[in-house]
Amino acid sequence: MTESDAATAAVGEEPVPPVVTGRPEEIADGVFVVPDGRVPLVPNIGVVVGDRAALVVDTAMGPRNGEVVHGIARELAGDRPLYLTVTHFHPEHGYGAQAFRDATIVYNREQHEELRDKGQLYVDMFRTFGPEVAEQLEGVELVQPNVVYDGAADLDLGGKQVRLRTWGLAHTRGDQIVFLPAERVLFTGDLVENRFFSIFPHFPPDDADVNGSKWIAVLEQLERLEPAIVVPGHGEVGGAGLIAAAREYLELLRSETKRLAGEGADADAIIATLEPQLKERYPDWGASEWIAFGVRCFLAE
Ligand SMILES: [Zn+2]
C-alpha cells in the first residue's frame, strides 16, 4: 500500500471533514444511534440508556469529535454513570476516548493489545490522509481501558442487558459486537457495512491482521443471533439482511479470487478482472478501492 492508496481508499475523492454532525435517533426503547450520514471516517455511534447506567459504543475520531459524542451521551444519559466501549481499535471508532474521563472504558483483550501495538502507527497513517483528517487528530491521546475482558462480558445497565462479544481475528484482531438480546439490536462495527465494500486493512508489513475466511465465520455467528436491527460500522441502520449481504460478498470475493488464482492469474490480474464485475454487481456500494485489498488478503491466507 502506498499512502495515497490508503488515502483514496479511506477518504474517497472529495475531502469531507470527518466530523460528527448527526443527531441521535431512537431505534429501540432507550437505544440511540447517531448516524454517520455516510461521511467517510465517521462511524455510526450508539448510546444505550438503562435505568441505572448508559453505554456508549464508539467515539468517532479525535478529541473534538469525542467531546461532541460525550455531550450527546450526557444529554441522553443525564447523570447516570457512563460506560464506553468501542467496536475495534481503528481511529475513527475509538480515538475520541479521551473525552470520556468520567466513563468506565471496557475493551476486550485483543482490542487492548492491538491499540497498544498499532495505535500510534494508525495515528501516523491517518495523518497522511489529508489536512481534514490530520486536523481531527491534533491533540489525540490513546486512552487505556479501565476494564479488560476475555471473550465475553455482560453489562446490566438497569432494565437493559448488553452482551459484548469477540471471536478474535476478522476485520481486526479484536472486533467486538454489542448485542441487546431483549431488543435484538446488534452493533457490528466494521464487520458489517451498509452499501460499502468490506474494509480490508491489509497493509503488510505494517498491519496484516485481517482474515477474510475467519471474518465469514464470524458473520455466520452474527446471523445466528437473529438480530432485528443491525447498526453497521458505516452506512444506514438496517436488518439482518445487512449481515447476509456482507457474508455473501466476502464468499464471492474469496471464491472468485481462488478460482482465478487457480487458473494462474496474479494479484493484479485478478483485481483487474474482479473490480469491474463487483462494481457492476453492487452498483450502489461505495469504497470500491477496498476490493483490491480484499483480493490480496485472500491470496495471503
Ligand atoms: Zn475498521
Tell how far the Cα of 90 is from the centroid of ligand 1, in angstroms: 5
Å from CA of 172 to ligand 1 middle: 7
State the distance from the centre of ligand 1 to the C-alpha of 64, rounded, in angstroms. Answer: 20
Structure confidence by residue, pLDDT tens digits, 3-54: 444 444 454 556 789 999 999 999 999 999 999 999 999 999 999 999 999 9
Ligand 1 centroid to 39 CA: how many Å?
A: 14
Strand bridging mode 45-49 / 31-34: antiparallel
Angle between helices 290-300 and 212-224 (to 10 degrees): 100
Distance from residue 189's CA to the centre of ligand 1 (Å) = 7
Q: Which residues surround ligand 1, an ion (CB under 5 A)?
A: 90, 190
| Residue whose C-alpha is closest to residue 84's, from 101, 64, 67 | 101
Q: How far is CA 105 from CA 55, 63, 81, 99, 164, in A?
A: 10, 16, 11, 11, 13
- Give CA angle at 219 (45, 109), nearest 5°: 65
161 Cα to the center of ligand 1, angstroms: 25
Burial class, 234, CB count within 10 angstroms (exposed 0-12 / middle 13-18 / buried 19+): buried
- Three-state DSSP at 159 gives coil
CA of 41 to the centre of ligand 1 (A): 9
* pLDDT surpasses 70 at 215: yes
Q: Model confidence over 273-288: pLDDT tens digits?
A: 999 999 999 999 999 9
* CA nearest to 57, candidates 79, 80, 82: 82
pLDDT for the residue 13: 58
> Contact, 199 vs 193, CB < 8 A?
yes
What are phi and psi for residue 253, nearest 5 degrees? -60, -40
What's the pLDDT score for residue 153? 97
Residue that has been written with the C-alpha cell 500510534 in this structure: 120
Cα of 171 from ligand 1 centre, angstroms:
7
Nearest to 73 by CA among 96, 41, 95, 91: 96
Model-wide pTM > 0.85: yes
Gap between the Cα atoms of 245 and 121, Å rounded: 31
CA of 160 to the centre of ligand 1 (A): 27
Say how many Å lie between the CA of residue 224 and the centre of ligand 1.
22
- Alpha-carbon gap, residue 221 to 239, rounded angstroms: 15
Residue 65 — φ and ψ, nearest 5°?
A: -60, -40
Between the CA of 158 and the centroid of ligand 1 the distance, in Å, is 30
- Contact between 62 and 136 under an 8 Å Cβ cutoff? The reply is yes
State the distance from the centre of ligand 1 to the C-alpha of 233, rounded, in angstroms.
8
- Interval between CA 54 and ligand 1 midpoint (Å): 24
Q: How far is the CA of 274 from the centre of ligand 1 (A)?
A: 23
- Res 2: pLDDT: 39
In the reported structure, the alpha carbon of residue 221 is separated from the centroid of ligand 1 by a whole-number distance in angstroms of: 19
